[in-house]
Amino acid sequence: MSAFVPSAAGGLESHRVENHLVQNQPPEFAPRDLWNDDVVLRESLAREGGQAWTAQVSAYGALAGDALYALGFDAHRDRPRLRSHDRFGHRIDVVEFHPNYHQVMRSAIEHGVAGLSWREGREGSHVARAALSYLHHQVEPGSSCPLTMTHAAVPVLRQAPALAEWADKAAAPHYDPRNVPIADKRGVTLGMGMTEKQGGSDVRSNTTAATPLSADRQSGDEYSLVGHKWFFSAPMSDGFLVLAQAPGGLSCFLMPRWRPDGSRNAFRIMRLKDKLGDWSNASSEVEFDGAWAHRVGEEGRGVPTIIQMVMLTRLDCMLGSSAEMRMALAQAIHHARHRSTFGKRLVEHALMRNVLADLAIASEAALVLSMRVARAVDAADRDAGEAAFARVATAIGKYWICKRAPAFVNEAQECLGGAGYVEESMLPRLYRQAPLNSIWEGSGNIQCLDVLRALAREPECVAALQQELSEADGIPETFIAGLADAMSRIEEGGARLLVERLALGLQAAALLRADSPLAEAFVRSRLQGRHGLAFGTLPGDIDFQTAIARTLP
């Protein structure tokens, strides 16, 4: 720019003054190879039995950190739009997305984020799919919602032989966003609608009515639905698992967008939710006006029918929160390594190293427990002990890991200062996203109550937890004794503290079994009280550098 300054003769002279030299700024974070950057993920995939899919997971890590990372920004900025009618006045109930959203969904489904577990249903496939989901969620978490529901719906649909086509196409590596009947598609996506205005998590209070279309309820499985859903996820999916009150009680149904005769089904999207985050994904309120639906499972057994779906979605909540923590921390470390303050790089300041190391310990603990639970889910059909562990650990892990994510992401934002509060940094998107997983699929109190029920009524779950903790060499005996005492005196008012301690114990066990170099620091800080209430309060003799370097090369 030009500026006028006084001259020696008393006049004004024009001089060129440079006032916008950009310096002391980090380079762009991406593209990065999210697989090669993540030693904890690589170790976890091999340790938990998914090593046969290393090449596939590795390829997706490279794709996610490059093309998908870039696509996610526009997919979130340009939110989905509801078109209830076409220009002629016909009711169409269509949700339109930014083209990037469809590219992201196509990449995810083709690479197995939704269907690998079912297409390659051999030992370790759930672990490999968990790794794919974790990588995907780091760069585009909104699309993880329909991907998770599509994945989790498959075992429910397989309970009804008449719905085999639905199950097969949900597991297929084909994405087709067209609003056409399933017969015209090679692959489909699934959503779900459980909660209603009057009940929320208390789905047994649902009022949506399911009326049999056949007089013989024992052999007939077609119903007409009348009612509403207050939170109806991914409304452009091809079909939806819903709960409704049949004559025999609360039951599970598949409600497709199109009836078997090729006509539009009778449900209306009333509006899209204006959400805190999760902007690339559409969530809605809907009404059913005689919508055709196919019953899945027996009448009155709606909740038991979808219970495996609940376990799978809870696991993905754990993986999603772990992914958000991982990406937020990677962004913070990247910034701290390139930004200088007060004469040295941010990462060289002792207090910043404490913060970053503390976050690194929490991030690794979240992932190793999530992948350990993925192994339990994988083995549940062939190992009763693993099934019991998966049953209770998904609730424990979902409560704690998802509860930690918002504070964690905010701390990572603070490492960037004001730069972490602007959209280009990606941190605001992660911060808006972070509370979702703790709310979705049952909020914190629901998880804790579920754990209490398992401890009180399912001795195999208690045995699985005791075995998991006792076999990890390095957990203090005083901690184990305290947990055993608390588990013997189950009290609803103290459920959160109990579940928190169980989660910390399971994270410690997972780190110790993995022989992680951060295991001792986790035990000292989380189990032995050498830690404050905020991040960055580790003991001064912890090896901060190892924790930071292990997180991001």
3-state secondary structure of 147: helix
**CA 409-411-413 angle, 5° bins:** 70
Q: Count of CB atoms within 10 A of residue 260's CB? A: 13
Structure tokens at 272: 């899209």
Q: Quick one: how far is CA 270 from the chain centroid? A: 26
Range list for CATH 2.40.110.20 in the chain: 39-299
Range list for CATH 1.20.140.10 in the chain: 304-551
**Which residue, among 96, 102, 434, 107, has the nearest Cα to 282 in the 3D structure?**
96
Which pTM value belongs to this model? 0.94
Which parts of the chain have pLDDT scores under 70?
1-18, 216-219
Predicted confidence at residue 16, as pLDDT, reads 61
**Which of the four CATH numbers 1.10.510.10, 1.20.140.10, 1.10.10.10, 1.20.1260.10 does domain 304-551 have?**
1.20.140.10
Q: What does CATH list as the number for 39-299? A: 2.40.110.20
What is the phi/psi pair of residue 21, to 5°? Answer: -80, 115
Those residues whose C-beta lies under 8 Å from the C-beta of residue 133, and which sit 6 or more positions away, are 113, 144, 147, 148, 151, 316, 319, 320, 323
Q: Which residues pair with 284 in a beta bridge?
A: 232, 272
**Which residue, among 374, 372, 444, has the nearest Cα to 403 in the 3D structure?**
444
**Which residue, among 267, 266, 227, has the nearest Cα to 245 in the 3D structure?**
227
Predicted confidence at residue 20, as pLDDT, reads 82
